[in-house]
Amino acid sequence: MGVSKSKKSRVLVVIPARGGSKGIPLKNLRPVAGRSLVARAVDAALCAPSVTDVVVSTDHPGIRAEALRCGAQAVDRPAELSGDLATSESAVLHALDAHRTQAGEDPEVVVLLQCTSPFIDPADLDAAVTEVLAGGADVCFSVAESHAFLWTVGPDGRVAAVGHDAAHRPRRQDREPQYRETGAFYALRTEGFRRHGHRFFGQLRLHVVPPEHSVEIDSPEDLDLVTALAARREEAAPGGAGIDVDALVTDFDGVHTDDAVLLSEDGTEHVRVHRGDGMGVARLRRAGVPLLILSTEKNPVVAARGRKLGVEVLQGIDDKASRLAEWISARGLDPERVAFLGNDVNDVGAMATVGWPLAVADARPEARAAARLVLSAKGGHGAVREACERILAAQPQPRVLATAGEHH
């Protein structure tokens, strides 16, 4: 296990993340807006001021490596706690035992935080933890308001209303809300959790989160929905129009081109590019931002376009991720501050290598899912220009000094 935020551990966040998943294979490593579900959970926990330790409980080496990469600790979960019938509580208790062995004591509060909720706001998590630390509750967990009319069907087939009078249908604004567990996080007083062995005990408090934060992933359809929502959230975030990076790497076919090829009788290939891309690249070069075209195909047209743009080209590359990592390292760049623009399945590995994976608007679903941001322009229709302009928008603006005689 790794190093905690402080010498005295007060709040331990445990993130259960099994490798097995029936609905979505290796669900916890699936990317949402360019970050795996594990990474998103770890980031949310680490950004909550009251949290002192974050540990991922897993049975999978890939998830373990991802947890460590993101700055969390990791505990290896035994096989008897990793099956489909294993409870989240059992994983939390096991992680607590491992933590106590290392730290010599239990934390005051332990938090069960789940990867399947990708939009956890650290401020909400911090508020729930603070409520328990302050003695206002033994358990505080995330819920969302619900005004739904629920029904049930009994064994005899009879239909009955749940929690409302079917003969009285008040307007939404006139109904007292009910609350639905989001499954995102549960802040628990450790002593009480150990004594009861489950997450609901003592004095309970609800922490209401906005509906947009309450989405949970249980099925492939949920993952598709969350991917679309994440792209919109990234765009709408403060500064979302800009991409703050130090370098831009792009694929060629389907990014600089529309992925169509005109083939002459002699086998010569001709492709269509967007003139505006050239202007965007020129402006980015003048700003001193390094660029690279990284292509699987080896074709004279790629080299010719690179020369025209004045951009370095690496082509005939089967393993884009490894070659990209080498290029980044050779230039002393931080991978988290590099953007890669792709469109197809063979770009996904490279996209996972950088902090800003981008996809063109008509990219394959696999590339769209791996992207932190999906651009509005299609490949060959100004996508490169859009990426360049977004990067320029995030560049520091030069200060303009007032000259003598100017008044403010």
Which of 197, 218, 239 finishes a domain?
218
Where residue 245 falls (left for φ over 0; alpha for ψ -120 to 50; beta otherwise) is beta
Reference 247, options 291, 293, 295, 285; nearest CA is 291
Sign of CA dihedral 121, 123, 124, 128: positive
Which of 218, 239, 273 finishes a domain?
218
- Provide the token pair at 213: 């934060």
Give residue 58's pLDDT. Answer: 94
53/200 same-domain check: yes
Which of 173, 199, 218 finishes a domain?
218
Give residue 1's pLDDT. Answer: 46
In a domain, 231, yes or no: no
Give residue 6's pLDDT. Answer: 47
Instruction: Residue 54: give the domain boundaries.
Output: 11-218
In a domain, 236, yes or no: no
Give residue 403's pLDDT. Answer: 47
> Cα(34)–Cα(308) distance, rounded to whole angstroms?
31
- Provide the token pair at 310: 């004045």
In a domain, 240, yes or no: no
> Cα(45)–Cα(54) distance, rounded to whole angstroms?
7
Give residue 280's pLDDT. Answer: 94
42/172 same-domain check: yes
Is there a contact between 290 and 338 (Cβ–Cβ < 8 Å)? no
CATH number for the domain spanning 148: value is 3.90.550.10
In a domain, 4, yes or no: no
Give residue 405's pLDDT. Answer: 47
183/258 same-domain check: no
Reference 4, options 51, 48, 68; nearest CA is 51
| Rounded mean pLDDT for each run of 10 residues along the chain, 408 residues in total | 52 92 77 84 94 95 93 90 83 95 94 94 95 95 91 93 84 82 96 95 96 84 77 53 90 93 76 92 95 92 93 94 96 95 95 93 88 90 94 73 47
In a domain, 226, yes or no: no
Q: Residue 153 forms beta bridges with which residues?
A: 159
Is there a contact between 253 and 295 (Cβ–Cβ < 8 Å)? yes
143/212 same-domain check: yes
> How many distinct structural domains can be found in the chain?
2
342/297 same-domain check: yes
In a domain, 131, yes or no: yes
251/214 same-domain check: no
CATH number for the domain spanning 361: value is 3.40.50.1000
Give residue 235's pLDDT. Answer: 53
24/64 same-domain check: yes
44/179 same-domain check: yes
Reference 389, options 236, 248, 233; nearest CA is 248
> Cα(163)–Cα(124) distance, rounded to whole angstroms?
28
264/317 same-domain check: yes
385/262 same-domain check: yes
Give residue 231's pLDDT. Answer: 63
265/180 same-domain check: no
Helix (H) / strand (E) element for 123: namely helix 122-133
In a domain, 6, yes or no: no
Extended strands (E) in 300-342: 312-315, 338-342
Give residue 8's pLDDT. Answer: 52
69/180 same-domain check: yes
CA dihedral 279, 281, 287, 291 (to 10 degrees): -170
Report CA-CA distances (Å) from 234 to 57, 210, 229. Answer: 28, 17, 9
Give residue 166's pLDDT. Answer: 84
3-class DSSP assignment, residue 200: coil
In a domain, 134, yes or no: yes
